[in-house]
Amino acid sequence: MPSDTPPSEGWKAGIRVGVMIALAGLPISISFGAFAVSNGWPAAIVIVMSTIVFSGSAQFALVTGFASGGMIPAIASATLLNLRFIPLSIATASSLPGSKLRRAIEAQSIVDGAWFAAQRPDGTIDRPMLLTATLFQWPLWIAGTAVGALSKPSTEFVDKIGLDIVFPAFFLVILIDSLRARRPLIPIALAATAVAAISVHWLSAGVSLIVASFVALWAIRGTGEPS
């Protein structure tokens, strides 16, 4: 880990962030459980999925893909969506201590909300924040899935009380914090918004996410290396 990195915000900050992300993710996990069961998945398998996959977007993609084309398209769409974890893992590697095995295991704590929240202004990752935030999210994600799978609340109810706004609102405040610390990235965020909006009109959500992420290549200009 670089010696001049800013100090960690600590485990307590990680717990605070983890609880907030978990609460924000609760309506999504409940929706996922209900969605999967209504698509013919046994509740037990749905709960196992949330336990060992722990990736909302990929889980939705797996269930959707399974309903529309079987196992191969389902796995393809879900894994395509999770390709983003490769660059996130590479970006995290230098912030994790110990042997390769230990770091590979700690890297399993990389999930979107916790990873974005653990970003420091210098681009390194606040390890205590990442680990704690993920550890507090995980059981609530499983519990939410179980509630959804076993009780199947209607999506109309979730929408009526405004819980479907929690996920985008949470990511929006994190994005604002991130851009305030690194203003040169504002054009990249705006460009990614435009690319995502256009591509999701024609392509699936997973593919659109990957297409929009290519906007980040713009940042390579000015580093003196060919893009």
Window 20-49: residues binding other proteins (CB under 8 A): 20, 24, 40-42, 45, 48-49
**What is the separation of C-alpha 123 from the centre of its chain, rounded to a whole number of angstroms?**
18
Q: How far is the CB of 204 from other proteins (least distance, A)?
A: 6
Residue (of 207, 208, 203, 167) closest to 79 by Cα position: 207
CA distance 74 to 173: 32
Interacting residue with other proteins among 12, 38, 154, 197 (CB under 8 A):
197
CA distance 191 to 221: 15
Taking phi over 0 as left and psi of -120 to 50 as alpha, with beta for the rest, 178 belongs to alpha
Contacting residue, 66, 136, 138, 141, with other proteins by CB under 8 A: 66
* Residue 217 half-sphere exposure toward CB, CA atoms < 13 A: 8
Measured from the CB of residue 211, what is the shortest distance to other proteins in angstroms?
8
> Using the rule CB under 8 A, is 4 a contact of other proteins?
no
Of 6, 10, 69, 87, the residue at the interface with other proteins (CB under 8 A) is 87
Which part of the chain contacts other proteins (CB under 8 A), choosing from 4-12, 136-144, 146-154, 194-202?
Answer: 194-202
At closest approach, how far in Å is the CB of 11 from other proteins? 18
Q: How far apart are CA 162 and CA 1, in angstroms?
A: 41
Residues 116-175 close enough to bind other proteins by CB under 8 A: 116, 119, 123, 159-175
Pick from 9, 15, 94, 152: which binds other proteins (CB under 8 A)? 94
DSSP structural state of residue 119:
B
